[in-house]
Chain A
Amino acid sequence: MNLNELTAHQLLEMIRDRQVSQLDVLDSLRRRIEQVEPQIRAYVRLEGRGDILGCIDTSVDGFESSELRGIPVSIKDNICTRGYNTECCSRILQGFRPPYHATVVKKLIDAGAYVMQIKNNMDEFAFGSSTENSCFGPTRNPWDLERVVGGSSGGCAAAIAADEAVVALGSDTGGSIRQPASFCGVVGLKPTYGRVSRFGLIAFASSLDQIGPITKDVQDAALLLKIIAGYDPLDSTSVDMPVPDYTQALINDIKHIKIGVPQEYFIEGIDEQVREITLQAIEKLRQLGAQVYDISLPHTEYAVPVYYIIATAEASSNLARFDGVQYGIRSTDQNPGIDNKIIQMYKTTRGEGFGDEVKRRVILGTFALSYGYYEAYYLRAQKVRTMIREDFERAFNTVDCIVTPTSPSVAFKIGEKIQNPLQMYLSDIFTISANLAGIPAISLPCGFTDKGLPVGLQILARGFNEEMLFRVAYTYEQNTEWHLRKPEINGIPACNRS
């Protein structure tokens, strides 16, 4: 048994009982990263590092009794760490070292965790569903190296699946935690909007972004959320509500829990095996005592178009600051067509610094906000967003949670959809609504296709009712063994986690 294969709660117990030290854990992670990283590429900026695995300097009072004592946490490249590169996997932010920690990073450090200096790969600025849009190149799926890991938090999900990390923090704007978790056979949670501070998360779409855990099991997700959740005076959109002890919600019992299954999520176009496996999972929940109801979320079909207007509009404004004036790269290329020097600097810097998908979305969002189009696009999208939110409110008047597939397909081949953005966007069709409605959602493994690719089950609950997600997910997990399966990476054997 290698330490890197264990969960955080297992390691915490061993560290507490002094069977192992936190340094043993780091050693084992270091070995694993050296072993599989050449194939997986879940981390970025490893090249030229003397020690692959450095952790951010910390000295916490009461370390011995701290809640995450010595647990290494791997984080996505869009979460700021003071003094360490945070580049959103974009050329334009090359060399950017923020002079501050994200609030979540501060909270982790205060809880005794080791925040890793190297960061997880992602789609540039979190724009994507496959981690192919990274300026560092794609991460490969541990279950099949020819396939994508999903995105945008693909590096996090791959690192967890390949046991190159114990727990990770990603960000989710339209499914960026849940979809890669489902593609990699791990657990991913998007908390309620406002539950976790966004301070220090480099914004994609401010009204949709949330930071959340990507872990090997449900218990670790609860453990991590408990640490990172809570009101932050530095984030006016964080909500001042007490943070429950989520580990208390890990109850192996869902008798009389009412589960809604929305008909709109089992549409044409969904992968036949994904549908089959999801329905089997729902049947399992029924066997475990849940009451299953068919429900309707009538505005589901508008979620993707609404999302791509609101998210790109906000992104076009959020990314305006990357102009070469203060930080990141500044292009000195001359463009003879432009006589205004400052406009020239903006254009060449942004032209060279941003990748294609970023440009596509900035243009899309700029258009949606333009004079004469604002009412038809942005304003109308906001109205439909309200209707989508009301769909969920109505549903939660009759059911405790909603269960759906996380994504309509399993991990696709690298390069398969990169030339077809619309196809790519549809891979988030089931996850986007939770962001638009601001509600929490979790994805956990619920089976494998005949090709051995993992399928994810998504559970959604009312805002600030993460406890319901943990309870249902934990019960399912305790009564199945999907989460214990490990990928065999290119002939490197993996032992089952049992």
Chain B
Amino acid sequence: MEYQPVIGLEVHVQLNTSTKIFCGCSTEFGSQPNSQVCPVCLGLPGCLPVLNKKAFAYAVKVAMALNCRIAEYTKFDRKNYFYPDLPKNYQISQYDLPLGEDGFLNIRQNGNIKRIGIRRVHLEEDAGKLIHVSDSSLVDFNRTGIPLLEIVSCPDINSPQEAYDYLISLKQIIRYLGVSSCDMEKGILRCDANISVKRQGDSELGTKTELKNMNSFRGVREALDFEIRRQVKLLENKQRVIQETRLWDAQKHMTYSMRTKEEAQDYRYFPEPDLPPFIIDAEMQREIKKSLPELPQAKELRFIQDYQLSEYYAHLLTSDREIADFFEYCVKLYPQAKVLANWMCGSLLAELNSRNLALGELNLSPENFVDLIRLAQEGKVSNVVAKGVLRDMIDTGQTAGEIIQKKNISQISDPDALKEIIDIVIKENEKSVRDYLGGRENAIMFLVGQVMRKSKSKANPKAVLEILRSRLNK
């Protein structure tokens, strides 16, 4: 029996405003506990929230980039529940009039585009953090009041891989907007998943479970994978799936039940009387729309068209706005886009990955990068050497020219200089010479290799081949 998973994701993203959503406290990560608090975010009696306009604009930007319908009239609501990390015992959130609704984003599945619906995007305040010690619990309110965006997808996702791709795509878009790093490992992006399975072709949905406690995109994929197998197994054994919240244990690679009986929480939402409703008029919408950058998928198409890049290269180069901008800057300096793309995707991105760094964290200017490519293309250094030079450039911050000069590794193309080495190689490898002359064409490549070794890779292999041929064919 074939089963189809039905998945919806609820994503929370902290926005990177410098101050909190309803007060002037800093949002910096990793400070001393309770060092970034004030009477407002501590919810002391008599204090009132004042909306951070920037957080609001950021939220509208994301909603627009996710193709949402932007509410002309929106408001905040109180979500009431008691928890010690919530100083007012209610969270200022949005209930029936979220600022964005009915959007979508596209993911690629086997070369096809699949559209995943976005049900709603709304703005709220983050809660504090509980720290459990042996006999009691402590609370850190630094996180309280950090602007938090909730993005709820429709149940349009049908596999763990699609969920993974959705998160990647969402992260790309939000990072393009520059409003959040979406770093899931740091808890800046959090994701819960609703998952059920049904028989292929059935219209009725199965009973869903809610998965929590995933700490990475891969964790989300693995948790969903586990949960699908668990649910399918239950159904095949004619057992029922229980509607419940389950936690992912990344170590044990399994989900386990958090609550056995599902208590329906009544949050008693009602409009926040301390904040007047907001009008997002056409003027403001235009203004924010104008400030939106070109988004990843549009950029990818343009790269394919403008630079004749392969879909694969275009996709890689637009995966991050910084990388795309770097590429386009380089193209202005050195208009051979394909060569650049090759270098960036082949060497530069590999360097980034191996160092686990972002492009902006590297000590590499587009000018220096282009200089290196130019030297390689002009045959001043071999490609193999050039890759090493790039590594040194990143490590030291020096230019390609400086490194090549210091290490004395410019490519030798001068026939007189090469002849000397070639003569020695011919003398030392009489057998190979005989083989070649005897008709084994490949033997000459062995000789080229020997020359390269003797020259410490500085010899220009093309020139070596030419000289060898003319010498041996005499």
Interface residues of A (CB under 8 A from B): 78-80, 86, 88, 93, 96, 98-100, 102, 198-203, 205-207, 233-237, 313-314, 316-317, 320-323, 325-327, 342-343, 346, 366, 369-371, 374, 378
Q: How many angstroms from the CA of A451 to the CA of B270 in the assembled complex?
A: 47
Quick one: which of B29-80 are within 8 Å of A by CB?
Answer: 39, 42-51, 78, 80
Within 8 Å by CB of B270, from A235, A313, A326, lies A313
Q: How many angstroms from the CA of A316 to the CA of B331 in the assembled complex?
A: 62
B376 within 8 A of A: no
Q: How many angstroms from the CA of A369 to the CA of B77 in the assembled complex?
A: 12
* CB pair A321 B89 closer than 8 Å: yes
* CB pair A369 B46 closer than 8 Å: no
By beta carbon, the residue of chain B nearest A80 is: B46
Q: How many angstroms from the CA of A203 to the CA of B49 in the assembled complex?
A: 13
Within 8 Å by CB of B273, from A200, A314, A326, lies A314
For residue A234, which residues in chain B have a CB less than 8 angstroms away from its CB? Answer: 48, 50
Within 8 Å by CB of A96, from B45, B49, B88, B90, lies B45
CB distance from A167 to the nearest CB of B (A): 21
Within 8 Å by CB of A98, from B46, B48, B264, B273, lies B46
Known: A326-B42, A346-B82. A233 touches B50 (CB 8 A): yes
Choose among A79, A205, A234 the residue with the greatest number of B CB atoms under 10 Å from its CB.
Answer: A234
CB distance from A138 to the nearest CB of B (A): 23
By beta carbon, the residue of chain B nearest A371 is: B266
Within 8 Å by CB of A370, from B47, B266, B274, lies B266
Known: A99-B39, A320-B90. A237 touches B44 (CB 8 A): no
Q: How many angstroms from the CA of A325 to the CA of B45 in the assembled complex?
A: 13
For residue A235, which residues in chain B have a CB less than 8 angstroms away from its CB? Answer: 48, 50
Q: How many angstroms from the CA of A325 to the CA of B43 in the assembled complex?
A: 11
* CB pair B82 A320 closer than 8 Å: yes
B219 within 8 A of A: no
By beta carbon, the residue of chain B nearest A197 is: B48
* CB pair B84 A342 closer than 8 Å: yes
* CB pair B89 A198 closer than 8 Å: no
For residue B268, which residues in chain A have a CB less than 8 angstroms away from its CB? Answer: 316-317, 366, 369-371, 374
CB distance from B267 to the nearest CB of A (A): 9
23 contacts between A and B (CB under 8 A): A93-B45, A98-B45, A98-B46, A99-B39, A100-B47, A198-B48, A199-B47, A203-B274, A234-B50, A236-B50, A236-B51, A236-B274, A237-B48, A317-B268, A320-B80, A321-B89, A322-B45, A323-B82, A325-B87, A346-B82, A369-B270, A370-B268, A374-B268
B350 within 8 A of A: no
B275 within 8 A of A: yes
For residue B51, which residues in chain A have a CB less than 8 angstroms away from its CB? Answer: 236
* CB pair A202 B84 closer than 8 Å: no
Choose among B49, B266, B270 the residue with the greatest number of A CB atoms under 10 Å from its CB.
Answer: B270
Q: How many angstroms from the CA of A88 to the CA of B47 in the assembled complex?
A: 15
B444 within 8 A of A: no
For residue B273, which residues in chain A have a CB less than 8 angstroms away from its CB? Answer: 205-207, 237, 314
By beta carbon, the residue of chain B nearest A201 is: B46
Beyond A200-B47, A326-B43, A371-B268: 16 further Cβ-contacts under 8 Å? Answer: A79-B46, A100-B44, A100-B46, A207-B273, A234-B48, A235-B50, A237-B274, A237-B276, A313-B270, A316-B268, A323-B82, A325-B87, A326-B87, A343-B82, A369-B268, A370-B266
Known: A321-B88, A366-B268. A199 touches B46 (CB 8 A): yes
* CB pair A202 B50 closer than 8 Å: no
How many cross-chain pairs have Cβ atoms below 8 Å apart between A and B? 103
For chain A, what secondary structure do more than half of its interface residues adopt (helix, strand, loop), or is it mixed?
A: loop
3 A-B pairs with least C-beta separation? A320-B89, A206-B273, A369-B268
* CB pair A374 B270 closer than 8 Å: yes
Q: How many angstroms from the CA of A369 to the CA of B43 in the assembled complex?
A: 21
Count how many chain B residues have C-beta atoms less than 8 Å from C-beta atoms of the other chain. 30
B403 within 8 A of A: no
* CB pair A317 B45 closer than 8 Å: no
* CB pair A202 B266 closer than 8 Å: no
Within 8 Å by CB of A236, from B39, B49, B90, B269, lies B49
For residue A323, which residues in chain B have a CB less than 8 angstroms away from its CB? Answer: 82, 84, 89
Quick one: which of B344-375 are within 8 Å of A by CB?
Answer: none
For residue A237, which residues in chain B have a CB less than 8 angstroms away from its CB? Answer: 48, 273-276
For residue A200, which residues in chain B have a CB less than 8 angstroms away from its CB? Answer: 46-47
Quick one: which of B139-196 are within 8 Å of A by CB?
Answer: 139
Q: Mark B258-273, 1 if CB is under 8 A from A, else 0.
A: 0000001010111001
For residue A313, which residues in chain B have a CB less than 8 angstroms away from its CB? Answer: 270
For residue B137, which residues in chain A have a CB less than 8 angstroms away from its CB? Answer: 342
Quick one: which of B253-305 are within 8 Å of A by CB?
Answer: 264, 266, 268-270, 273-276
CB distance from A365 to the nearest CB of B (A): 9
Q: How many angstroms from the CA of A88 to the CA of B90 in the assembled complex?
A: 21
For residue B275, which residues in chain A have a CB less than 8 angstroms away from its CB? Answer: 236-237
* CB pair A317 B90 closer than 8 Å: yes
Within 8 Å by CB of B44, from A206, A327, A370, lies A327
Within 8 Å by CB of A206, from B43, B50, B266, B274, lies B274
* CB pair B46 A202 closer than 8 Å: yes
* CB pair A317 B270 closer than 8 Å: yes
For residue B50, which residues in chain A have a CB less than 8 angstroms away from its CB? Answer: 233-236
By beta carbon, the residue of chain A nearest B85 is: A325
Within 8 Å by CB of A80, from B45, B78, B90, B139, lies B45
Within 8 Å by CB of B87, from A203, A316, A321, A378, lies A321
Q: How many angstroms from the CA of A449 to the CA of B84 in the assembled complex?
A: 53
For residue B78, which residues in chain A have a CB less than 8 angstroms away from its CB? Answer: 317
CB distance from A485 to the nearest CB of B (A): 36
Quick one: which of B87-120 are within 8 Å of A by CB?
Answer: 87-90
By beta carbon, the residue of chain A nearest B89 is: A320
Known: A200-B46, A327-B44, A369-B80. A100 touches B274 (CB 8 A): no
